[in-house]
Amino acid sequence: MGHVIVVGGGQAGASCVAKLRQLGSTDEITVIGAEAVPPYQRPPLSKSYLLGEMERERLFLRPEQYYADQGITLLLGEAASHIDRSAQTVTVGDRQLTYTTLVLATGSSARRLPDSVGGGLSNVHVVRDLGDVDAMAPACLPGKRALIVGGGYIGLEAAAVAAKVGMKVTLVEMADRILQRVAAPETSDYFRAIHRANGVSIREGIGLSGLVGNRAVTGANLTDGSHVECDLVIVGIGISPNVDLARQAGLTVDNGIATDVYGTTSDPNIYAAGDCASFPWQKGRMRLESVQNAIDQAETVAANIIGPRLPYVPKPWFWSDQYDIKLQIAGLNTGYDRVVVREGDGRSHWYYAGPTLLAVDAMNDPRAYMVGKRLIEANRSPDPAEIADGKSDLRAMLKA
């Protein structure tokens, strides 16, 4: 009997070990998780959990008893510190655990503001794990002033929650527009209007010069020379893959822990999955930061540990909840040259490169999302004129 060790107690790690048991693995399985709680959902942290609408236990992906019942050992609150590839051991505290197969599901970390610009002041937070949200919750109070740094989805979701709590919210984005890296101007315009309608002050093309305060933050100086007073700062400036352990072990790192199409790293006994892993895509490499990728990639790795090797075929989709708007995204819009706007039951933006459909942003329009996702996965591209006609039958396009 072998020993599969999974380093990382997040979505990818939990999905991998559950799939191993589902597929009939009889190997010993150990999960090493740096946090002191069982694997849990991250998306609700900055929304329903922060708002007090979801209890901590409801975040857990599975009850802790599940792991015991399945013969899966959870080492929680402990971080792996060293991998010895020749001995096939992982160091945890003062112990060395021997593996036959190792899975790195180390996830990613939120980028923080450096101390040189006030990142070390109290009440300056990122949104990444349970501890982050528990730490900021006491400062999220009606009438208090929140500054959100970064206009990506994390920043916009944080702004929506702060506004819903009753805080006075200012969001600054250094780029020319919010969502510039990930979405078309049409999507940026849509969400800008939604946030402003909810009282959020959005300031684009403006960066942060520095935070001010004695021990706790009291304000921020911006690059346009203005000053914003604040009681709380939430930083949403992206994430970085956790690759230190892999790099120490001498594994290839290239925009994350580099894997082949099967999830194998440069060591045939070590796999990687989730936010930390990059895989071959078209003529380069891709790293997808999404829950669905973490699940799908980890389950592919589990299948490849047990039996015939299966290539990982990503089916990218994402979502974001802001106020009463549910944004669902299918596909990847990289390389688009045209956006077709459809207004029917909801609103959707369809990204084309020439005649080829690449991606869809659907706002409160689950039908557009579902149809768009299936069309993209089938490599089918409907006539843009049909898409633009809000009265056309989207479902019929699946049969055409």
Task: Return the HEC string of 73-98.
Answer: EEEECCCEEEEECCCCEEEECCEEEE
**Start-end ranges of CATH 3.50.50.60 in the chain?**
3-109+240-306, 112-235
Residue limits of CATH 3.30.390.30 in the chain: 324-399
The pLDDT score that the predictor gives to residue 22 is 97
Where does residue 196 rank: exposed (0-12), middle (13-18), buried (19+ CB within 10 A)?
Answer: exposed
- Whether the Cβ atoms of residue 87 and residue 269 lie closer than 8 Å to each other: no
Q: Which CATH architecture has domain 112-235?
A: 3-Layer(bba) Sandwich (3.50)
Work out the mean pLDDT of the chain and round it to a whole number: 96
CA 58 to each of CA 64, 149, 347: distance values in angstroms, whole numbers, following the listed order: 12, 29, 32
Residues 117, 121, 125, 130, CA torsion sign: positive
CATH of 3-109+240-306, picked from 3.50.50.60, 3.90.1150.10, 3.30.2320.20, 3.10.129.10, is: 3.50.50.60
The pLDDT, as a whole number, for residue 135 is 94
pLDDT of residue 73 exceeding 90, the answer is yes
pTM: 0.94
Residue 293 scores a pLDDT above 90: yes
Flag whether pLDDT at 308 surpasses 90.
no
* Residue 57 confidence (pLDDT) above 80: yes
pLDDT category, 206, cuts 50, 70, 90?
very high
User: Per-residue pLDDT tens for 90-145?
Assistant: 999 999 999 999 999 999 999 999 999 999 999 999 999 999 999 999 999 999 99
pLDDT per residue over 334-390, tens digit each?
A: 999 999 999 988 999 999 999 999 999 999 999 999 999 999 999 999 999 999 999
pLDDT band (50, 70, 90) for residue 47: confident
Under the banding of pLDDT at 50, 70 and 90, the label for residue 154 is: very high
On whether the CB atoms of residues 33 and 130 are closer than 8 A, the answer is: no
Q: What is the pLDDT of residue 322?
A: 95
Q: What is the pLDDT of residue 399?
A: 82
User: 324-399, superfamily in CATH?
Assistant: FAD/NAD-linked reductase, C-terminal dimerisation domain (3.30.390.30)
In the predicted model, is pLDDT for residue 220 greater than 80? Answer: yes
Q: How many CB atoms lie within 10 A of CB 81?
A: 13
* 168: pLDDT strictly greater than 80: yes
Burial of 120 (0-12, 13-18, 19+ CB in 10 A): middle
Residue 188 CB neighbours (<10 A): 22
Q: Flag whether pLDDT at 400 surpasses 80.
A: no
pLDDT band at 260 (very low <50, low <70, confident <90, very high): very high
